[in-house]
């Protein structure tokens, strides 16, 4: 089974329109011959700018969240129709920062994922344990609960369109990467959870990324692991040469 690698940047709350334009224009020539899927997930306010600047290129644009409802009284939320209108194709759902600071739960992650799939987006669903959870031996339990929660009620056909990002919370923005063996072990476990939900054929098709201090120095080794199909890149996606080096992990 060959899964096409997918390297996605998650800009988080960084870059104004002017900064986004500069970064994207620097990035375009650097990644134009990439062999993997290249995605940048950006703040709502720069999605339109990013989509226009990347039109006709191999860079796809994503949002960092999506509302579960179509429209209405949901102050601060942004709907699928709004995201489609400005050119988002992917959407990050359930990032640990959303879970940690903004009350996102397995249930809201599921509702957003269901909505994203219904509206034709490609969700990047994030799961991962905290340091406390890892140290108390709960990594698998947490990843199972979050994965089963996110995929509740989702068909196998839709599951195949979904990307899972395993992001151990203790490795995010800390410079502390999971070792390639640790990342492979947990990602292979998550694939097993998907197998129990959907069967082996579907589980083998779902791409699972690693995220957490992934950078040009460690990308090659992480990507060499059999179950790691990509990366969700925070800090290193904010510098065009670094993001490009991760995209070209095999060079």
Q: In the complex, which residues of this chain contact ligand 13P (CB under 6 A)?
A: 10, 95, 167, 172-173, 211-214, 232-236
| Closest CB 212 distance from ligand 13P, rounded Å | 5
Which helix H or strand E contains 247, and what residues bound it?
Answer: helix 240-247
What is the token pair recorded at 191? Answer: 């694939």
103 by Cβ neighbours in 10 Å (0-12 / 13-18 / 19+) ranks as: exposed
* CA distance linking residue 193 with residue 188, whole number of Å: 9
Catalytic residue among 64, 129, 133, 167: 167
* Residue 197 or 238 with smaller CB distance to ligand 13P: 238
What is the token pair recorded at 164? Answer: 């899972």
| Closest CB 56 distance from ligand 13P, rounded Å | 27
Annotated active-site residue 95? The verdict is yes
* CA distance linking residue 114 with residue 152, whole number of Å: 9
Catalytic residue among 95, 97, 129, 133: 95
| Closest CB 5 distance from ligand 13P, rounded Å | 16
How many degrees, rounded to 5, is the angle at CA 155 between CA 149 and CA 161?
A: 90
Annotated active-site residue 167? The verdict is yes
| Closest CB 247 distance from ligand 13P, rounded Å | 14
* Residue 87 or 231 with smaller CB distance to ligand 13P: 231
* Residue 198 or 222 with smaller CB distance to ligand 13P: 222
* CA distance linking residue 94 with residue 165, whole number of Å: 10
Length of the chain: 251
Give the nearest residue (CB) to ligand 13P. 234
* Residue 198 or 229 with smaller CB distance to ligand 13P: 229
Residues 6+ apart with CB under 8 A from 133: 139, 141, 142
Residues with catalytic function: 95, 167
């Amino acid at each position: 089974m060959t899964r096409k690698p997918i390297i996605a940047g998650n800009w988080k709350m960084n870059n104004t329109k002017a900064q986004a334009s500069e970064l994207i224009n620097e990035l375009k020539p650097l990644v134009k011959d990439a062999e993997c899927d290249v995605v940048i997930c950006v703040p709502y306010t720069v999605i339109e700018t990013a989509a226009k600047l990347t039109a006709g290129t191999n860079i796809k644009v994503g949002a960092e969240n999506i509302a579960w409802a179509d429209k209405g009284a949901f102050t601060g939320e942004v709907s699928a129709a709004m995201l489609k209108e400005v050119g988002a194709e992917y959407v990050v759902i359930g990032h640990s920062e959303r879970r940690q600071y903004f009350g996102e739960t397995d249930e809201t992650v599921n509702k957003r994922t269901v909505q994203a799939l219904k509206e034709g987006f490609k969700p990047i669903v994030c799961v991962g344990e905290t340091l406390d959870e890892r140290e108390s031996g709960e990594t698998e339990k947490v990843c199972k609960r979050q994965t089963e929660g996110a995929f509740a009620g989702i068909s196998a056909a839709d599951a195949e369109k979904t990307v899972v990002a395993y992001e151990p919370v203790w490795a995010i923005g800390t410079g502390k990467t999971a070792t390639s063996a640790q990342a492979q072990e947990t990602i292979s476990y998550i694939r097993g959870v998907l197998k129990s939900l959907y069967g082996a054929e579907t589980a083998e098709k779902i791409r699972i990324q690693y995220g957490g201090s992934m950078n040009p120095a460690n990308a090659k080794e992480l990507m060499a692991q059999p179950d790691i199909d990509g990366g969700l890149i925070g800090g290193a996606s904010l510098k065009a040469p670094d993001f490009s080096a991760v995209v070209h992990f095999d060079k």
